[in-house]
Amino acid sequence: MPSQTILKQILIWRAKHISHKQFVYILSIVVGFTSGVGAVVLKNLTHFFQHVLEGNLVKYYHHAFYFLFPILGLTIVYLIMKYIIRNKVSHGIPSTLYAISKRKGIMKQYQMFGSILTAPLTVGFGGSVGLEGPTVATGAAIGSNISRMFHMNQTTRNLLIGCAAAGAMSSIFKAPIAAIVFAIEVFSLDLTIASMLPLLLASLSAILTSYFFFGDDILLPFKIEDKFIIQDAPFYAVLGVAAAFTSIYFAVVYDRINKFFEKIKSPINRLVIGGVLLGILIFFIPPLYGEGFEVINNLIAGNPEKALENNFLQMDLTNIWVVVALLAGLVFFKIIASCLTFGAGGVGGIFAPTLFMGSIMGNCIAKIINYSGFVNTPVSESNFTLVGMAGLLAGVLHAPLTAIFLIAELTSGYELFIPLMLTATISFIITKYFSPHSVYNMELGRKGELITHDKDHAVLSFMDIEKVIETNFVSITSNMNLGEIVHTAVIKSNRNIFPVIDAKTKELVGIILLDDLRPIMFDQDLYSEVRAHEIMQPAPEIIDMDKDKMTDIMKKFQDSSAWNLPVVKGDVYVGFISKSKLLTAYRRQLINFTN
C-alpha cells in the first residue's frame, strides 16, 4: 500500500510538471540503463561459469567434461524454470516480438529476471547459443513493466521495448548506431523524430553503462589493416551468394529441428534427447562450446589452427585444405548444436551463432580463393571473416543495415563499407526470395501475426478482433416459421440482417436480410407455412475468430462488398462485424500508431 501511494503521488506530480514527451525521454534513459546493467550481469555470470568449468575443469582434469557440462547445465535450467520461476522462459527476441504482436507490448514480470537466471547457466555450461537475445528480452520486459507502471499506452510500450533492444545491443557490442538500426529493423519501429530521440537516449545510456563496468573491452577487438580494393568486388559478391545459401541452410535446419522437438510433449524427454546429443557434439567438437567469440577472434587474428587444435581426429593442421574442411564442419554443426540447446530447454539467442557461422564461412571462402591458384593477389582473410559475419546477419536476421553498421562500428571505421554493402545486399535479396521471414519471426510470419514496416499491415496487426464484434443482432433458428420471425426478430430488432442458427448446435447456417422478408412479411397466410431455412441465404463471407487475422477480414470485406459479415468461433455463431465499425477502429488505431 505505501508503494502504491508513492507511485500515485509520482504520477500526479508528473502529470502537473512533465509533459508526456519529456517523460518518455526520461523512461528511455532508464530503460537503456537497465538494459546495460542486464547485459553486464548476464555477461559476467556467463563468463564466470565458463571460466570455472571450461577454463579449469576441462583444461586441467578431463576432456569428458565437455559431454557432461551441457547436460548438467540444461538440467539446472529445467529445475529453475519448474520450481523457481514456474514458467517457461522463451527465446529472447521471438518472445519479445510475440509480445508486441499479440499481447499489446505487455510482458509478464517473471520475464524481467527469467533470462538472467537461466541464460548464463545455459551458455556457461556449454549451450551453443548467445546472450544477445536474453539480454534484449530482459531489457524489453523491464521496459514493458515500467511503462505499465506509469500507465503508458501501447504505442509507448512498444517504443520502450525498442529502446531496450537498442540499449542491450549497444551495451554488448559498444555499437550505439548499429543498436538503433537493429531496433528499427528487427522490431519494425516507425522511424520518426518522436521515436528516434528515445532510441538515441537509450542507446547512449546503455553504452555509458557498459563503459563504466567494462572500460574499453569489446567482444571483437580488431583494427582494419588490409584496405578494400576494387578488384576484390567480385569475390565479395561470391561471398554474398555463399552467405545467402548458408542463411537458407540455417533457417531450414532451425525450423526442422524445432518442429522435431515440438512433437516431443514431455520436457524431460526433450531434455534427455537434446542434452545427450548436444553433449556428444561438444565432446567431439569443443569449439561449439558456448558463444564462440574466442574462435571468431582467433580467425580474425589469422590463427585458425588455435581454434581447431582440439579436433578429435587429430588431423594435420598444416594442410590448408584440412583446415578448410574442419572450419566448414563448424559452420555445418553450429546451428545443429544451437537448435539442440533450444530443443532441450536451454535459454539463449541466435545472434552469436550467426556471427560464429558467418565469420568461419567468410574465412573459408577467403582461404579457398587464395589457395585455389586462380588469383595472383590474395584477398584479405581477416576482412572476409568480418564481412562474412555481416553477410550471414543480413540473411538470417533479414537485417542488412544492422549487419553493415555493426561490423563498421566494431572495426572502428568505414573502410569496409563498400564490401559490407555488397555482401549484405546480395545475401539479403537471395535469402528473402527463398525464405520470406527471418528466423526471429518465422512462426509469427506464417500465422500472419508479424508486425512489419508496412504501416497498413502493422496497424491491422495491432487491432483486436473482439473489440469490433457487435452482438446486438437478433438470431433466428432454422426451423422458425415466418410468424415467429416477424414477432420475435423483425419487430424487436433495429438491424436489417438476422443470423440463422441451428437450435441445438448454435452453428451458423445462413442469414436472412430484411429485404428477403419484405415481399412476404405482411401476408399472414404464409406465417405458418414458410420456414426460415426456406428463405435464408448463405453469408457472402464468414469470419472465423480462430483463423482469420485483421488482414484476412479486410480482404473478405473487400472481396464480398458486404457491409456486415457474421463471426463464428468453431462454427458457433458469435456476432457480426460491420465495415463502418471496422474502419472507425482502424482510423483510431492509425492515429495511435502514428502518434
- Output the CATH code of domain 459-594: 3.10.580.10
Owner of C-alpha cell 559431454: 67
Strands (E), 154-288: none
pLDDT-derived band at 207, boundaries 50, 70, 90: very high
Q: Average of pLDDT values for 330-349?
A: 90
Average pLDDT in the chain: 83
Tens digits of per-residue pLDDT, 31-40? 999 988 988 8
Half-sphere exposure of 271 (CA within 13 A, CB side): 17
CA 464 – CA 582 distance, rounded (Å): 10
| Helix, coil or strand: residue 389 | helix
Q: Sheet containing 476-477: which strands, arranged edge to edge?
A: 476-477, 497-501, 508-513
For Cα atoms 445, 446, 452, give the angle at the middle one, nearest 5 degrees.
Answer: 20
Q: Average of pLDDT values for 151-162?
A: 82
CA 541 – CA 565 distance, rounded (Å): 6
C-alpha grid cell, residue 296: 571468431
Write down the pLDDT at residue 2. 61
DSSP 8-state class, residue 57: I
Q: Residue 147 above 80 pLDDT?
A: yes
Q: Is residue 127 a contact partner of residue 73, using CB atoms and an 8 Å limit?
A: yes
Write down the pLDDT at residue 202. 93
Other beta carbons less than 10 A from residue 121's beta carbon? 21
Give the closest residue to 335 by CA, choosing from 250, 242, 278. Answer: 250
Q: Residue 246 above 90 pLDDT?
A: yes
CA 99 – CA 148 distance, rounded (Å): 14
Write down the pLDDT at residue 453. 47
165 Cβ contact partners less than 8 Å away, ≥ 6 residues apart: 35, 93, 96, 136, 139, 140, 179, 182, 183, 186, 187
Q: Which residues pair with 365 in a beta bridge?
A: none
Phi-psi map region of 95: left, alpha, beta (phi>0 left; psi -120 to 50 alpha): alpha
C-alpha grid cell, residue 6: 508513492
Q: Average of pLDDT values for 332-349?
A: 91
CA 583 – CA 595 distance, rounded (Å): 18
Q: Do domains 2-214 and 230-452 have the same CATH topology?
A: yes
Q: Residue 216 above 90 pLDDT?
A: no
Write down the pLDDT at residue 416. 86
Q: Residue 276 above 60 pLDDT?
A: yes
Q: Is residue 121 a contact partner of residue 73, using CB atoms and an 8 Å limit?
A: yes
Q: Residue 60 above 70 pLDDT?
A: no
Residues 230-452, CATH architecture: Orthogonal Bundle (1.10)
Q: Which residue has the higher pLDDT, 516 or 367?
A: 367
CA 165 – CA 176 distance, rounded (Å): 11
Q: Which residue has the higher pLDDT, 94 or 569?
A: 569
- Domain-by-domain residue ranges, the chain? 2-214, 230-452, 459-594
Write down the pLDDT at residue 314. 67
Q: Is residue 428 a contact partner of residue 243, using CB atoms and an 8 Å limit?
A: no
Sign of the CA dihedral running 315, 317, 318, 323? positive
| Helix, coil or strand: residue 211 | helix
Give the closest residue to 239 by CA, choosing from 381, 410, 411. Answer: 381
DSSP 8-state class, residue 179: H
Give the closest residue to 155 by CA, choosing from 420, 538, 451. Answer: 451
pLDDT-derived band at 312, boundaries 50, 70, 90: low
CA 474 – CA 476 distance, rounded (Å): 7
- Output the CATH code of domain 2-214: 1.10.3080.10
C-alpha grid cell, residue 279: 553433449
Q: Residue 308 above 80 pLDDT?
A: no
Q: Give the amino acid at 114.
A: G
pLDDT-derived band at 115, boundaries 50, 70, 90: confident
Write down the pLDDT at residue 324. 86
DSSP 8-state class, residue 563: S
C-alpha grid cell, residue 56: 579449469
Q: Give the amino acid at 547.
A: K
Tens digits of per-residue pLDDT, 419-436? 999 999 999 999 999 888
Q: Residue 283 above 50 pLDDT?
A: yes
